[in-house]
Amino acid sequence: MPATLEIACENGDCELDMAELHYTYDMPDDVTVDDFQCPYCRQSDSLREIEP
């Protein structure tokens, strides 16, 4: 099953509290939250991974 990544945006001005990214099998194994930006506020330094 392809990987998923749950992220949270910690930008105080952003309305997004949580999102879940679903990858395909073609996504490289070394992809981390640092490779993405918030889909709402477009910042990347405010994202963190939500640990299960």
pTM: 0.74
Q: Which residues of 20-48 are buried (b: 16+ CB within 10 A; e: fewer)?
A: ebeeeeeeeeeeeeeeeebeeeeeeebbe
Strand partners, 34: none
pLDDT per residue as tens digits for the range 1-52: 667 889 999 999 999 989 998 887 787 888 888 999 999 999 989 999 998 7
Q: How far is CA 20 from the centre of its chain?
A: 7
What is the DSSP code string of the chain? ---EEEEEE--TT-----EEEE--TTS-TT--GGG---TTT--STTEEE---
